[in-house]
Structure 1
Amino acid sequence: MRLQGKTAVITGGANGIGAVAAALFGKHGAQVAIVDFNEEAGEVTAEQLRTEGVDVAFFKADVADINNVKEMAEKVIVRFGKVDILINNAGITKDAMMLKMDIMDFKRVIDVNLTGVFNCTQAFLPAMLAQGKGKIINTSSIAGTGGNVGQTNYAASKAGVIGMTRTWAKEFGRRGINVNAVAPGFIETEMIGTIPEKVLGQLQLMTPYPRFGKPEDIANAYLFLASDESDFVNGTVLEVDGGMLK
C-alpha cells in the first residue's frame, strides 16, 4: 500500500472529489482526517470509511476562518500525532458575469478557495517542518490556467493557488516538503450539474478524450503526488483535463 503509516488531511472531504480521495487514501493504508464545513455529510462519509477498516476522523471547520482552522489543526495533531499529507481540496463556486457579480460572492469564493488554502497550509506546516518531510497538494483548476467566462472570482482564486504553490515549493522544498497542485478539467460532480446541457456539449467538443473526468481521476492524481513516488516532483501543476483544448 502506497500510503501505509501516513496521516492525510483532506479538506472538503465530506463529498465529491474529497470523499473519493479519502476512500482511496484509506485503501492505501493512510489514516485520514476529513475536514469540511458540512458536519452531517462529513460524519456520514467518515462512518462509511470506518466500516471499510479505515482509521478516520471528521473535523468540522470553515477553511476561510483562520482561528477555526488553527483549532481544527490542533485537534487533528492530538488525534493522529502527526500530519504527512495535506490535500487543500475545499472549494466553492458563485458564478456570474463580471457586471452582475456581487462583491460578497466574489469575496466568499476568494476567502474559501484561496485564503482557505493559505490558512490550512500555515496551520499544518509547523508539524511537517518538525518532522522534515511532508506533501502538500493544492487544488487549482483549468479556470486558473486559462480563465473561464462567468468565473472571475473562481478563476482568480485558482490562479492564486498556482502562484502560492510555486512559491511554497521554493520556500519549503529545501526542508523536505513537496508542494504541488492539481488542475482538474470538467469533472462529473455537483458543480458540473449547474452547467446548461448546451454548454456541456460545447465543453465536450473541447475535450479530446471521449468523456468528462470522474472524481477518481483527480483522486488518483492526489495519490501519486502524496506518495513517495513523487518525491522529486515539486512546484508542478498537474493538469487532469483529458487534454482540453485551450
Structure 2
Amino acid sequence: MTRVAVVTGGTRGIGHAISVELKNAGFDVAATYAGNDEAAKKFTDETGIKTYKWDVGDYDACVEGLKKVEAEHGPIDTVVNNAGITRDAMLHKLTPQMWREVMSADLDSMFNMCQPVIAGMRDRGFGRIVNISSINGQKGQMGQTNYSAAKAGVIGFTKALAQEVARKGVTVNCIAPGYVDTDMVAAVPEKVLEGIIATIPVGRLGKAEEIAHCVKFLVAEDAGFVTGATITANGAQYIAG
C-alpha cells in the first residue's frame, strides 16, 4: 500500500532532502512551498515530485491545499511539518510583525496542517506526523526570541498531540536539528558560522540528508511504538536530558 505524504517547505534545503527520501522509500509525496516558483519547478523537474503552493500560516489555505492533495493523491497518511522562517533581532529591536510572521509560519502551521487531517488518520487507524523543531527551541538563542519560542512550542505541541492520538495508531514525533548546511545557514556571516562550527563536537555542519533519514525512521510502518519523542540531531552541540 502506497502511503501519501505531505512535506511542507518540501522543495528546498532539509525539506527537499525529506521529500526525496520519502519518495525513494515508496511514498507518494506532495511537497508544499510558499513562494519560490522557480525553485519549485526545478525541484519537480529533477525529482518528479508534484508541488503545491500555499501559506502554511493560513488555516483556510491549508484546508483547501490539503483537500486538493487528497483529491489528487488519496488520503493523507503522513505529514512532515518542515516549513519555517526566521526574522532575527534582539528583543528591543524586534517588531510585532517580525514576531507574528515567525509564529505564524513556524508554530501556527502545526495546527493548520494537522487539524484538517487528524480526524481522517484517527478514523483509518494510522497516521504519522513529524514536526521539525530546532536546537534553538531546546536551548534558546540570543537574537531569536521569536524563533526559539515558536520552535519550543513545536515540541510542546508534539507531546500533547501524541498523547491524544496514541491509541488511534497515529504517532506524532519531533526532530530538533542543529546547524545544517542549507541556504538558511549559508546566509550567516562567515566569521559567525566559523564560531558556530567550533561549538559542534563533531566538527561540522549537519547534512540535510541526515535529518531526512531520521524522518524516514519515524514515519515507517514499524515505528508505531515511538511517539511523543524529540530526536536531537545536532552533532552533540546540545544534549537534551
Cα shift readout 1:189-242 (whole Å, capped 9, x = no counterpart): 111122222222222122111211011111111111111232110000000000
Identify the residue that residue 22 of structure 2 maps to in structure 1: 25
Report sequence identity in percent.
37
Identify the residue that residue 105 of structure 1 maps to in structure 2: 98
Structure 2 residue 194 is the aligned partner of structure 1 residue 201: yes
Runs (5+) with no aligned partner, structure 2: none
Identify the residue that residue 239 of structure 1 maps to in structure 2: 232
Q: In structure 2, what residue type is equivalent to 1:84? A: D
Distance 1:245 1:44 in 2: 35
Pick from 27, 38, 41: which aligns with 1:40?
38
For residue 135 of structure 1, give the secondary structure of its aligned residue in structure 2: strand
CA-CA distance at 1:27 after TM superposition: 1.0
Distance 1:65 1:154 in 2: 18
CA-CA distance at 1:124 after TM superposition: 1.7
Query: Using a 3 Å threshold, how does the CA distance of structure 1 residues 208 and 58 change in structure 2: closer, same or farther?
Result: same
Distance 1:209 1:124 in 2: 38
Pick from 196, 219, 229: which aligns with 2:222?
229
Q: In structure 1, what residue type is equivalent to 2:217? A: F
Runs (5+) with no aligned partner, structure 1: 51-55
Identify the residue that residue 12 of structure 2 maps to in structure 1: 15
Identify the residue that residue 180 of structure 2 maps to in structure 1: 187
Q: Could you tell me whether the CA contact under 8 Å between 1:34 and 1:46 is conserved in 2?
A: no
For residue 26 of structure 2, give the secondary structure of its aligned residue in structure 1: coil
Structure 2 residue 66 is the aligned partner of structure 1 residue 58: no
Pick from 108, 116, 120: which aligns with 1:115?
108
Identify the residue that residue 49 of structure 1 maps to in structure 2: 47
Q: How many residues align?
A: 238
Cα shift readout 1:125-153 (whole Å, capped 9, x = no counterpart): 12212211010000100110100011011
Distance 1:123 1:168 in 2: 14
For residue 93 of structure 1, give the secondary structure of its aligned residue in structure 2: coil
Cα shift readout 1:37-85 (whole Å, capped 9, x = no counterpart): 12332232123212xxxxx321111001111110001001111111111
For residue 243 of structure 1, give the secondary structure of its aligned residue in structure 2: coil
For residue 115 of structure 1, give the secondary structure of its aligned residue in structure 2: helix
Superposition RMSD in Å: 1.3
Q: Could you tell me whether the CA contact under 8 Å between 2:139 and 2:238 is conserved in 1?
A: no
For residue 171 of structure 2, give the secondary structure of its aligned residue in structure 1: strand
Cα shift readout 1:139-195 (whole Å, capped 9, x = no counterpart): 100110100011011000000000000000100111110000000000011111222
Q: Could you tell me whether the CA contact under 8 Å between 1:42 and 1:58 is conserved in 2?
A: yes
